[in-house]
Structure 1
Amino acid sequence: MPTCHDAEMDRAAPSPPAPPVLVGRDDECRRLDALLSSAASARAGIMLVNGDAGIGKTALVRSVVDTFAARTRGTTVLTGTGLPLASMNVPLLAVRGLVRSRPAHHPGLDLGTDQDVSEAPVAFDEWLDTLLKHGPVVLVLDDLHWTDQSSLDVLHYVVTGPENRPLAILATVRTSEVGDRHPLSRWVADVRRLPRVEELPLGPLGKPATLDQLAALLGGTPHLSLVDDVYAHTAGNPYFTRLLAAGLPHDARALPDTMPSSLRSALLRTWSTLSPTARRGTQVLAVGGQAAGYDALADVAPELPWNLALPEAVASGVVDALPGGAYWFHHPLIAEILESEMPAGERRAHHRAFARWWQVRPSSGEPAAEAARAALVADHWFRAEDVVAARTWAVRAADASARAGAWSETLRLLRRELAREESAGEVPDTDTRGLLHQARAAAEASGDIEAELELIEKLLAVIDPAGDPLAVAELLIRRGFVRYLTGREFDDGDALAYAEELARTRPPSATLVRSMAWRAMNGRWEASRSAQLSEDALALARESDDAVGIALAAKSVVAFFGDDAASAISYASEALTHAVREKDWLTAAISAEFSATAGDTAWSPWFADEVARHRAFLETVGAPIHQTVSFAVVEADARLSIGEWEACTALLRSCMAVRMHPMWDAGARLSLARLAAMQGRPPEAAGHLARAEELIADAPHFAALEFDAVRAIVALAAGDPEAAYAHAVNGTTWDTLPPTMAEWLVPLAARALADQMERHRAVGTDSGGVLVTLRELTAAYSHVIVEPGEMTPWWMLDVEALQVLYRAEIARALNSADAAPLWRVATIRARRARLRWDEAYAGWRWVEALLRSGQRGLETATVLRDSYRLASRLGAAPIVSALERLATSSHISLAEVLDDHENPVDDDVLPGLTPREREIVAHLVAGRTYAEIASSLVISEKTVSSHVSNILRKTGAKNRVDLTVLVGT
């Protein structure tokens, strides 16, 4: 990620220790780069970059300009800035800054020292012409809102100059500083009419980009809870995020209670210039906690002249006037600071006043609005420290939020009340247990399983199993799955057995069905026991017509591990129907996943499309996002394996913006670790792997995730084959079921040994110990490990490819003459299985083996070029580099490979298209079929079709013939 100097708010506070980081601005970067490229082609232009303080205007402009200047020889960059001088006026201050910033080899310009600046526009424009003779010139004017009028006049003259000049002007404008009477308003109105003037509004970052910024600032992927906390405070303002992150450890889960003084100073800089009346009024507004109008504020604080205080606060940019006559702070963090700094007694009094005001408001009848009103009343009574009123309204607001489906709000209110009771030392009673049950249900519905696990433990501590065995059994069942999702425990079989025992003390029930079904699906796999439990659970469920979905899901799992794919799919499909009807979203997700898993291997195009279909279905029928996000993670892993790494990255990026259970978060990190390792970024890969291991406490036994295989892949990428071998072999032993990616473990172990053997041969050291280990491996494993389940078509292709890879690695280790034909077969098999990374790797080794055997003919050149083409598409930098070295040493030209990629259509020909879309347009115009495009770009035909639909929509073309006409071919 590029870093750049951000002077946006340096005058407001001391510079924080961390440098600014530019993220989430791809579209804006493209627009700025297009303007600069156009200027380099002698088409002058100006871009006004508008946005709030700290939004990253300076960082964006300087990053793009620096990148452009680095790749465009002869470009001259001149920089100037406006200054908020209070006691003096320096004519042409910004223009003088531009002149001073010129390179030493360019002539200067004497602008004089007197107050007569009438000749400055012409003089500066002529001086620019002398610079333009040597190449493009870029003028960067920071903080245009503080620029003196004489400099604005000069700039206006330049902007209206000849169009056919290689000149670009980029200026940043702080939106909050430019009111209707500001001198810049008229200037902007005048230049806006010119044909070459563009405006680029810069808004706050989204949550994914905030995550990226925090990752760069903290030196590792942050906890999602920290991202949520930071985003809630900063609303995506990069400067505020940088200040908040300063000094935080990389594993922080939340922000500290104390706000950094630098951030406080930055936020209150303008507020401190308000009159005492306006400052007082904004403090009262802050206590209200949300936008309010004159009526509420006048009732709460009738002594204040609101007709004066609010307009002043709005004019300063501290407060925004919202539609409907309400007012709120331009940045929410200001409200947080002002409320916290009001004297405690006064603050409590205002909270009481706001509570009473909202309490008597008439109900709107709309569930969400009524829930929000009740929560406001509860919050104000809580902050007013009225225990009785706070408890009454917390319960009322929690009920209203639950009816509105606002489960996170329900959980927040109930947990706060429970925490107050606990801190007061109150003994849990019936009411408290009721609140605990409500809070646990809200935690489950909202997807906050860490909170749910805590609440489950509290409930188990206060409920007597003898008095309410079914309640305890339900909690144990749920706890087992929550512990699984949080990565604490892969197998909670003893607790599930106890749950069944408790359920059997009462008449047959849905609780008994669930206990048996979960035991049947438990990680401690025993085929006969699981089959009987699932059979009994389904019979009981059908008899009572309750919990049928989970019972059928258990039957599907048993059938799958019993090598009966057809039955597994049938049971899973029926389970999905029942689970949706029962609103049992957990079971629905499990059923949908096993329906796809039983259909074919998890590393095939079919599986990726099937998982995407199930995710879309669950979203359609109303499943919560914390259930459907797991399908995006699973699909991303499948897309990665078949080479569609860009689709994988896009899916995982969308996942990072929502709350994920630790298990799925870890799964996403493992996919990212594999991708980084295979693309040649070992430190990044190690970072993602470490985060996954941190998320899963029971990682050594967590068979549902591919820890050992990924550890081996990351170690190989880091050049540590000894560690890679140890990780791969460690994964070949398990208690009950093999881990995910078990098929890759033995080939990875053999690859690690082959790397070690080649290292010994290269330096002439003894490889006897490695050879012994290799013989032990081949004696123990004549075939790659195959997970349980019926062998399906794609899975068979995968296993066949991996088996040949295993044999080829053994031949490489032994330096056998069989290596070349084995790598040939491995390449072909991997291609059939669509294991594109393995295909690229096998192709590299095939070329290597051919050259070692002295073959430098057409076959070798063709294989090398095909492998190079594929590795380049995958971004597999290590393989690309290795093939380039082989091409150089064997005098095989890669020129035709470098030239045979279709040249993407230029942005100015079809503006608004992404780089990938422009690339596809080039293929379409060249007459390629969807299948040919998919193969060339290493994406699916479905993805190609989706891109083409977007291209036709954006361009207005009806078909590829229209596109060809538009491109001008």
Structure 2
Amino acid sequence: MASDVDTAPLVGRADQLAMLRAALLDDVAQGHTAAVFVTGESGVGKTRLLRETAARLRARGAVVLTGACLDIGDASPLHPLLQALRRLDGDTAASRARTTSAVRGLLQMFAEEKAGPDGAGALLERVSRGLHLIAEGRPLVLVLDDLQWVDRTTRQLLLYLLAGLGDLQLSVLAAVRAESLQGAHPLRRVLTELRRLRSVRVLDLAPLDRAGTEQLAAAVVGRPLGPEAADLVWQRSGGNPFVVEELARDLRDGRDGLSDTLREIFLDRVDALPQHAHQVVHAVAAGVEPVEHWLLAKVVRLPEEELIEAVRAAVAHRLLVSADDGYRLRHRLVAEVLAHELLPAERSVLHRRYAEALTAAPAELHQARLAHHWRLAGEPARALPAAVAAAQEAQRLHGYAEAHRHWSVAVQLADGAAGPGAVDVDRGALLGHAAEAAHHCGEHARALALLEELATGAGGLLSCSLRIRRARYLASAGRSAPAEEEYRLVLEDPACTPGERATAAAYLAELLVQMGRYADAGQRAREALQLCSAVEGSVSEVVRASAALGFSEAYLEDPDAGLAVMREALTVAERSGRPDDIACAYLHLAELLTGPLNVIEEGVVVARRGAERVADLGLGRTYETRLLAIATNGLFRVGQWAEAEKVVAAALRHRPSGADAVELLLARCRLSVGYGEEEAADRDLDAVATVLAGGGARHVLPMLTLRAGLAMWQGRHDVARQAVQRGLTESRSDDVAILAALVWHGLRAEAEALASRTVEVDRTAVRRLREAMERVATRSASAARQVRSVVDGFLALCAAELSRIDGRSDPQLWARSALEWDRGNHPYPAAYSRVRQAEALLARRSRTVTAAKLLRQAYEVTQGLGAVPMTDEIRALAGRARIDLQDRTTEPAGRPGTVAEPTSDELAMLTAREREVLAAVAEGLTNKEIGQRLFISERTIGVHVSHIFDKLQVRTRVQASAIFLRQSS
């Protein structure tokens, strides 16, 4: 079943190609034979693999004969060999006269001689001699496709040649459809005989894995597939390349449903089954896989021996897969095809039999399957209790996506289960459960829609509890402003209970943290905790309020006290065991460490540990993606961009939505801007802008900052200016760090405009930026030292950019900026500062040696990061200054022309912060003492020490200290 068009690349077969080349050519000794028989299901790519292998063997100097067997039995003896000879005759007519003569001589012999039973041996001998003449001492490879239809004479020839009876160095490569080798097929005996030969191998070609499937489909479609399309192709194809290509062409051409080609192929395969096997495949297609043997027996109602024989036939035809847990269809497409072949009454009977068998089973009921089969059997009243039980079980196991699906089914069943024997259910309760499950699995828009339906059923009025739920869903959907308004309505409503007000206050405090309004968050958190003191059992509210209060205190007042409150909140959350509480505590702790407090390494560790924890609790699509976004941002800041890229790719596989998607898209956009992937960054920013229609400054300001950074690399300085000015207008956040980053981008945009001489500097914009810079400096002066360290770096950049705007770029200001960023282990802005410092020195025509050194340092960093735009700018500047960036030598000051002796620095891979830690380790200080000296937590010092050990490949502090002392001496 080869594809009609082989324009798609050969995917996932590199190992097989290498093995075939070695087995058929490289490992074959002179005068010996070898053979590989490729087996596999139809469409798995055997023909394509043979074609690619043949082409590579020809390129290596082998004589390759290619032919295919016909599905006409023994009516055409030696047909594949005759076909191969004719093809070779056409290919070599103008090149090798001796080969052409030998080929035509062999063809003439076939035309003149009819071999009977007595003359078979003589014929094989003459064929062997003829092939020997054709080879002319070169390796000869006979490639045969569709060997399952081989005629008797060709089988005899293969046995004759591979047994070494002919004087010929021969290799055989043949493809066999595995499903065709049934019962007493003669080729089964041939393969059994050949397997005994040490020179014969059998390669069972498996379908593609998921990555290969997506790669092949993308090649056919002409673009990467979206997550949903990729899932669909993988599930329906099972990795079969032919099926993948057909499905991908349908996607490319906009066709819905199955192509007639695929439908007919699978129907032909099912129709070729024996009667009972046909019945078995229909039954499995109607079931929920895997279908256990005992269950299948109840449904098809065949005697045991006949059932086993029928299953064996279906497995042999490659339609079923048998495993310890039951039977599965090899391709889910079979179920789609067969669904249209049964009459409605036949389908109903099958599903009723499944439901009755599951109901009567003595083991624990499979509620989800039971609901499925009763529903399709046309019994909604009997399906409803099973659907509810399945939803409750999924929820108990934190399977929120499955719970949402089951609750939604229960709602539909409740609508159709009226009448005699109907179960009395509360449809509103079902809607509420479905909405909550949708929220937990990241379907925030669906959760809001279900809640609206629930409110409509209640007369359109929202109770306090429903308002709180609606606010939660709005916040998760990225609509912060309406969520805040809903919480305020609850707090102002005298009809709401103290417990409802406590809940609203706690969630509002959490929302305000996410919006960057830390002072308001602290106020609301204290209010929530006071309300909680009078409400019994308000553990969740205490956790959220404590996390928000800790964040507020850590940022605005006392980092150590705030962190202690947040760690205690995490402990309480873990003790309570509620997934949402645990996730919330991890999220805020990781955000604080990687963000305002600049304890990035520890924050990344907490974020990744928290992501693993919440994934186990079923919150992979929501909180796990947010935590991985935090880890991505932290890794980006410390210069581990490749690792950050892996983390964000893993998180995106969850396909998050709403605010969860915003966090992740912004994290990926930072990488794209740094890498210079402009189209990808533009797409992510457009997506974020769409979601953030009602978002807060915490997300809007980073979005506008990234928009400005991207526009500057694109040379669109006016666009960058507009984005920054909009951010200054809309900013309402206590997070001075994100405001400082925006101000720097604004000043940089004006400096770049001046340097480009294409856009005039906007003096009004510069004045507003100076005022914003002063506000940042004033507000950060009273902030905690850890918060100031990041802000000071941005303020240093701002001061240096102002010197550019004033036309006197100051190298000292840029040097101070580089030092600030080095202290915090932020390689990218440090490299940027060094580039500008070198540029300023070169403009003054002074200290060109220092400028060259700075450019080489920056170049090494940006190359390591993969920061293409920055690297290109460094190359351009070095080119204008005639500086060789690859020259690692240095000239000591005062001795021009002298080259310093190169040294091997074992500590070169350590960051500046890690060198400081290692120096303290070498003094014999403990982690606690080092933390007190460097004003870093003891846990973060432990992380640094672990990284130092990994990089230096040592196990003890003594070994690490020895390396440091050796390098320092």
What secondary structure, in the 3-state scheme, does the structure 1 residue paired with 2:426 have?
A: helix
Look up the match of 2:128. 118
- Offset, 1:842: 3.4
2:679 counterpart letter in structure 1? P
The aligned counterpart of 1:907 is: none
Partners of 1:717 and 1:60 in 2: how far apart?
45
CA displacement, residues 463-494 of structure 1 (integer Å, 9 cap, x when unaligned): 4799xx8xx33332232222222224455122
**Aligned 8 A contact 2:669 2:680 in 1:** yes
Equivalent in the alignment of 1:393 = 386
In 2, Cα distance between the equivalents of 1:388 and 1:107?
A: 82
Shift of 1:361: 1.1
Distance 1:103 1:656 in 2: 57
Matching residue within 435, 445, 455 for 1:460: 455
Distance 1:154 1:600, change over 3 A: farther
Match of 1:583, as an amino acid? G
- Alpha-carbon offset, residue 495 of structure 1: 1.0
Say yes or no: does 1:732 pair with 2:728: yes
Q: CA RMSD in A?
A: 5.4
1:792/1:240 CA distance change after superposition, 3 Å:
farther
Task: Establish whether residue 270 from structure 1 lines up as the match of residue 269 from structure 2.
Answer: yes
> Aligned letter for 2:320?
V
Indicate the SS of the match to 1:803.
Answer: helix
1 CA distance for matches of 2:651 and 2:767? 42
SS, match of residue 520 in structure 1: helix
Q: Deviations over 1:335-367 (max 9, x none)?
A: 232123312122112222222122211124xxx
1:684 deviation in Å?
2.7
Distance 1:36 1:168, change over 3 A: farther
1:226/1:698 Cα in 2 relative to 1: closer, same or farther (>3 Å)? farther
Q: Does the 8 A contact of 1:703 with 1:738 survive in 2? A: no
Matched, 1:520 2:509: yes
Seen in structure 2, the aligned counterparts of structure 1 residues 211 and 894 have a Cα distance that, compared at 3 Å, is same
| 2:922 corresponds to | none
1:357 aligns with 2:362: no
Cα displacement (A) at 1:696: 4.6
Match of 2:402?
Answer: 409
1:745 aligns to what?
742
Distance 2:316 2:204 in 1: 23
Counterparts of 1:854-933 in structure 2, within 5 Å, are: 854=845, 857-896=848-887, 929=906, 932=909
CA pair 825-935 structure 1, distance change in 2 beyond 3 A: closer
| Deviations 1:849-872, CA, capped at 9 Å, x for gaps | 444444584333323332222222
Structure 1 stretch displaced more, 336-345 or 434-443? 434-443
Is 1:629–2:625 an aligned residue pair?
yes
1:756 corresponds to 2:769: no
Alignment-mate amino acid for residue 878 of structure 1: P
Cα distance in 2 between the residues matched to 1:604 and 1:103: 75
Structure 1 residues 865 and 609 mapped into 2: Cα distance closer, same or farther (>3 Å)? Answer: same
1:587 equivalent in alignment to 2:584: no
* Greater fraction of residues in helix: 2
Cα offset for 1:797? 4.0
Match of 2:763 among 772, 777, 782: 772
**Helix, strand or coil at the partner of 2:595:** coil
The 1:117/1:150 distance shift into structure 2, 3 A limit, reads farther
Contact 1:9/1:266 (<8 A) preserved: no
**Are 1:401 and 1:410, in contact at CA under 8 Å, matched by a contact in 2?**
yes
Cα distance, 1:498 vs structure 2: 2.5
Q: Which residue is equivalent to 2:495?
A: 505
Indicate how the Cα distance of structure 1 residues 407 and 789 shifts in structure 2: closer, same or farther if over 3 A, else same: farther
* Match 1:537 to one of 523, 528, 534: 528
Q: 2:703 aligns with which of 697, 704, 707?
A: 707
Is residue 587–residue 610 contact of structure 2 (8 Å, CA) maintained in 1? Answer: no
Tell whether the 8 Å contact from 2:831 to 2:858 is kept in structure 1 after alignment: yes
Give unmatched runs, 5+ long, in structure 2: 111-125, 890-902, 916-942, 961-969
SS in 2 for 1:321: strand
Q: In structure 1, list runs of 5 or more residues that go unmatched.
A: 1-7, 131-137, 365-369, 899-925, 953-958, 961-969
Alignment size in residue pairs: 869
Q: Map 1:215-614 onto structure 2 (within 5 A).
A: 224-235=227-238, 240-241=243-244, 243-246=246-249, 248=251, 258-265=257-264, 267-268=266-267, 270-275=269-274, 278-292=277-291, 295-302=294-301, 306=307, 309-323=310-324, 326-364=326-364, 370=365, 373-403=366-396, 405-422=398-415, 431-463=426-458, 472-501=463-492, 505=495, 508-509=498-499, 511-523=500-512, 530-543=521-534, 544-547=536-539, 548-560=542-554, 562-599=556-593, 601=595, 605-612=600-607, 614=609
Report the Cα distance in structure 2 between the residues aligned to 1:22 and 1:834, rounded to whole angstroms.
Answer: 45
2:516 and 2:719 map into 1 onto residues whose CA distance is: 30
Partner-residue secondary structure (3-state), 1:521:
helix
Counterpart contact for 1:449–1:486, Cα < 8 Å: yes
Amino acid at match of 1:344: P
In the TM superposition, 1:106-255 aligns within 5 A as: 109-110=99-100, 111=103, 112-113=106-107, 115=110, 117-119=127-129, 122=132, 128=138, 183=187, 204-206=208-210, 224-235=227-238, 240-241=243-244, 243-246=246-249, 248=251
Compared CA separation, residues 281 and 564, structure 1 to 2 (3 A)? same
Q: CA deviation at 1:224?
A: 4.5
| Secondary structure class of the residue paired with 1:736 | coil
Relative to structure 1, the CA distance from residue 629 to residue 173 in structure 2 (aligned partners, 3 Å threshold; closer, same or farther) is farther
Deviation at 1:241, TM superposition (A): 4.9
Which amino acid counterpart does residue 487 of structure 1 have in structure 2?
Answer: G
Structure 2 length normalisation: TM-score?
0.74
Secondary structure at the counterpart of residue 128 of structure 2: coil
Q: Please give the alpha-carbon distance, in whole angstroms, between the structure 1 residues aligned to 2:168 and 2:823.
A: 59
Alignment of 1:686-697 (within 5 A): 686-697=682-693
Distance in 2 (alpha carbons) for counterparts of 1:531 and 1:863: 45
Which of the pair has more CA radius of gyration?
2
SS in structure 2 of the partner of residue 932 of structure 1: coil
State the match for 2:668 in structure 1: 672
Bigger mean CA offset, 535-544 vs 780-789: 780-789
Residues 30-60 of structure 1 show CA distances to partners (whole Å, capped at 9, x for unaligned) of 8978999999999999999887666678889
The offset of 1:323, in angstroms, is: 3.0
Partners of 1:39 and 1:770 lie apart in 2 by 71
Paired residue type of 1:839: A
Structure 1 residues 667 and 595: alpha-carbon distance in aligned structure 2, compared to 1, 3 A threshold: closer
| Cα distance between partner residues in 2 of 1:612 and 1:931 | 28
Measured after TM superposition, the shift of residue 651 of structure 1 is 1.0
Deviation at 1:647, TM superposition (A): 0.7
Indicate conservation of the 8 Å contact 2:547/2:565, yes or no.
yes
Inter-partner Cα distance in structure 2 for 1:141 and 1:836: 59
Q: 1:119 to 1:792 in 2, by over 3 A?
A: farther
Q: Which amino acid aligns with 2:355?
A: A
Deviation, 1:443, is 3.3
Check 1:269–1:882 CA distance in 2 against 1; reply closer, same or farther (3 A cut). farther
- What does 1:781-860 correspond to in 2, within 5 Å? 781-782=772-773, 785=776, 791=783, 795-818=787-810, 820-854=811-845, 857-860=848-851
Residue 417 of structure 2 contacts residue 423 of structure 2 at CA under 8 Å; is this kept in 1?
no
> For the Cα contact (< 8 Å) 1:407–1:445, is it kept in 2?
yes
Q: CA offset at residue 376 of structure 1?
A: 1.8
CA distance in structure 2 between the partners assigned to 1:694 and 1:413 by the alignment: 31
Percent sequence identity is: 22
Give the secondary structure class of the aligned counterpart of 1:91. helix
| Structure 1 residue 558, shift from structure 2 partner | 3.6
SS at match of 2:808: coil
For residues 781-826 of structure 1, what are the alpha-carbon distances to aligned partners after superposition, in whole Å with 9 as ceiling and x for unaligned?
A: 44595898985666544333333333333444554252x4444444
Residues 50 and 441 of structure 1: is their aligned pair in 2 closer, same or farther, counting only changes over 3 Å?
farther
- Cα distance in 2 between the residues matched to 1:105 and 1:843: 64
User: Which deviations, in whole Å up to 9, do the C-alpha atoms of 1:220-249 show, x marking residues without a partner?
Assistant: 776655555554444555654554454659
Distance 1:152 1:868 in 2: 63
Work out whether residues 234 and 241 of structure 1, in 8 Å CA contact, stay in contact via their aligned partners in 2.
Answer: yes
